[in-house]
Amino acid sequence: MRNSSSNNKDPSRDRSPVRTTTRTHMRLRKTPGAGRIARAVLGAWLAVGLQATASAQGQTDLLAVYSDALERNPQYRADAAQYHAAQQLVPAAFGKMLPQIGLRARYEHIWEKIDGQYYNVQNFSFDDDYDRHGYGGVLQQVIYNGALWADLDAARLRVAQAGFALEGRQDALGVQVVENYFAALGAEEGLRYANAEVETLRQESEQASARADAGLALEADKQVALAAYELALARQAEARSLVESTKLQLESLTGKRYGALKLLPADVALELPQPMDENAWIERARTHNAFVLARTAGLEVARKELVSARRERWPRLNALGQAFWDDHGGGVVGEREEEEQRIGLVLDLPIYSGGQVSARIEANKAGVTGAEALLEQARAEAVQATRQAYLTITTGLLKAQGLKRAVDAANAAEQATRAAYEAGTRTNADLLQAIGTRYDAERNYALIRYRILHASVQLRAASGTLVTADLIGLNRQLQAGELTP
């Protein structure tokens, strides 16, 4: 799939665990969003000199489609936007622990009435209505609030979760681009084999018809050849439809229509995964698959939210400062202006809040249980995808070897059958069957290469080891030109 240095890469390439917050953020910088990633991919593409070649030949290659997908794919753009939104959770959570400074203005219309004793004045009677307005500043600083620290930890983990989800989407998009690109190539290759088969069987049908008209062959031979030709035309029409269908699938990833694609050479190297240990790949998938990491972060978020809910019962200590100027338009003490400055501490100890805290704790306990189940599901899916890809590669290589031998045998059988037919020892039906067998063998051998290379990308994505360099290495093997079966 890639050059020798890439092929020998151990699957233990590090992808930072969620619990190591600093390393997590360092790794996530490689996926800051669709635009920057696409520019990085294009820069790497230019570095290996592929753009000039593609432009010169007028054919699109794999890396160009992948770059378009990173820039234009709606699902990836949505995940990139979610990651950017998640990044704002940390400053929002941290901001709650910084000084809260604000201005406050107030206006009141007051009616006041006093009857009775007032400051030792007997039979005091007074009533008045007046306005009071003022303005000032308020400063509040958290000194201790355990729930806010848990919320900050949860926010950091949410950033990691969104980042790993974005990486997983990037990996999945790369796999899908490879799958759809090779499906389009396979369909085009199938069409070319169908065209060649139609032309061969047309010639055989014309020869059988001429021989039958000359009395050198039976009418049945003529009809058998004609039937084979008509069936080949039907397969040709189906192959044309498949070409259009696969091009539409490729277009669905980017919203862009593609013409000619660069081709995979017939002698492309197909190699076994390194290391040749399925358990090593499975273990890597259980711990380093991007979606597993995202679910792991999600579980840690749920646990932190449970801690935050429990800490709502803890005491909270804040420093509070106020400075106000007020203008009183009347009242028992008369018209006046007042200035007031206060600073102090406020200690809150929740005792009963109508069951809100208990309900939040129970809800977050259920959230932890759900997050554990989602993590278990993600691991199972990663392991399943890894096993399937590993099996496809290993069995595909054995099948490819068998199909290569089948192609050689089918070619030899067709030549022998043709010679025997011309000698009169084999029938026209035998020759047509030999021709069909040869084309089937060649078509199947051509398509198995795409399945193996696609499975190689799937294996790396499922195990958390897929990087842009893998796609660049695969892209280097593509060539401009036309298929000639």
Fold designation for 62-477: Outer membrane efflux proteins (OEP) (1.20.1600)
3-state secondary structure of 322: strand
Q: Give the integer Cα–Cα distance in Å for 300 and 21.
A: 12
- Contact in structure between 459 and 281 (CB atoms under 8 Å): yes
- Contact in structure between 236 and 202 (CB atoms under 8 Å): no
Q: What is the pLDDT of residues 302-315, one digit of tens each?
A: 999 999 999 999 99
DSSP codes joined into one string, 106-169: EEEEEEEEEEEEETTEEEEEEEEEEEEEEEEEEEEEEEE-HHHHHHHHHHHHHHHHHHHHHHHH
Say what the pLDDT of residue 57 is.
Answer: 53
**Two tokens, residue 37:** 């990633």
What is the maximum span of the chain, computed from C-alpha positions, in angstroms? Answer: 144
The torsion angles phi and psi of 107, rounded to 5 degrees, stand at -140, 135
Helix axis angle, 62-72 to 34-47, nearest 10°: 160
Nearest Cα residue to 250 out of 73, 106, 404, 380 = 73
How far is the first Cα of the chain from the last one, in angstroms, to the nearest whole number? 23
- Determine the distance from the C-alpha atom of residue 470 to the mean position of all C-alpha atoms in its chain, rounded to a whole number: 16
Q: How many CA atoms lie within 13 A of 357 on its CB side?
A: 14
Beta bridge partners of 316: 348
Average model confidence (pLDDT) for the chain? 86
* Strand bridging mode 336-348 / 316-328: antiparallel
* Segments in the chain below pLDDT 70: 1-57, 481-485
**Two tokens, residue 59:** 């054919």
Nearest Cα residue to 160 out of 14, 302, 301 = 301
